[in-house]
Amino acid sequence: MKFFADTAEIDEIKDLAATGLLDGVTTNPSLIAKSGRDFMEVTKEICGITDGPVSAEVVALDHATMMKEADKLRAIAETVCIKVPLTIDGLKTCKALTEDGTMVNVTLCFSANQALLAAKAGASFISPFVGRHDDNGTNGMELIEDIRLIYDNYGFETEILVASVRHVTHVLESARIGADVMTAPPKVIKSLFNHVLTEKGIAGFLADWEKTGQSIL
């Protein structure tokens, strides 16, 4: 499963890239706003850090303007993946961009039917939001299971990009189901390292090493 970082914070992206865990980055207007920086500038800088897809989202709601925004965004780098909403105009834009050789991430997916539409429109990625489903009292991971089944039934090449990931269990369940990608805030990705027995083991090794009075350096 590929790991994408859901952030626009450059230092966090660099830190993850150094671990070898980073396969791409997803951004959205809200994340760019939090960074307090220029949208185009931040996107270009992110593309210089990772070789993987960098999702940059259009903000227009009509097809014609989406295409104009997409033209500006995909001029930043070949790795820019245009992010469009799961609407009729969004899927029109998806189809046009895909036919032109541009990666497209269809976002704000909340049903398997919507995911089916995106795949038929040629989306590179579909982004179902599992955390927001959980917030509303439904099981977001059941949505991932349904999409995986449908895509496998018909051989769709659209990659399932699990979004709105809130905790490590979402990551584990996504991997068990067979999702292609998950995108999460850096703090969630880093929390995958955590285990009390690992921490105890390190503490024990260090205590025993200190008793030897030796030094490697």
Active site residues: 83
DSSP state of 48: T
Q: For residue 144, what is the enclosing H or E element?
A: helix 140-154
Q: Of 65, 153, 75, nearest to 112 (Cα)?
A: 153
Distance set, CA 135 to CA 131, 132, 164, 200 (Å): 6, 5, 10, 34
3-state secondary structure of 26: strand
Beta partners for 56? 82
Q: Are 70 and 82 in contact (CB under 8 A)?
A: yes
Q: Of 82, 73, 148, nearest to 115 (Cα)?
A: 148
Q: Name the token pair of 11.
A: 């230092």
